Amino acid sequence: MNISKREKYLLGILITVLVCFVYYQFIYKNQVEKLNVKRNEKNQAEQRYNEVMAAISKLDSKEEELKILKSTVLDKSQKLYPTILQEKIIIEIDKLL
């Protein structure tokens, strides 16, 4: 059986198309799916990182607020009890009850 030049070219094109189709179906699609999964994981990791960094940046301001509140409480408690003695506090609480 002799195959003409034209048939050889057509068979070559058919084989090339077949190889491209098989590559697309079994290799390319799987790789694209894996790539999308990795991109989603990366986006989630970046989002968690941004949330943590925001919490860290808020931490300094929270510490400053805590210092201010502690100082105001200390100033106000100095007027009531110059030195905090546990016995005096217990006696005062007993009187109130």
Residue environment code for 8-44, b if the CB has 16+ CB neighbours within 10 A, otherwise e:
eeeeeeeeeeeeeeeeeeeeeeeeeeeeeeeeeeeee
- pLDDT for residue 90: 86
Q: Which residue has the higher pLDDT, 10 or 1?
A: 10
Residue 38 token pair: 């990795």
- pLDDT for residue 29: 95
Number of domains into which the chain is organized? 1
d(Cα 75, Cα 21) in Å, to the nearest integer?
80
Give the range of the structural domain holding residue 91, as residue numbers without chain letter. 5-96
What are the tens digits of pLDDT across the range 20-75? 999 999 999 999 999 999 999 999 999 999 999 999 889 988 989 999 999 888 88
Q: Is the pLDDT of residue 96 over 90?
A: no
- pLDDT for residue 6: 93
d(Cα 32, Cα 76) in Å, to the nearest integer?
65
Single-letter amino acid code for the residue at 75 = D
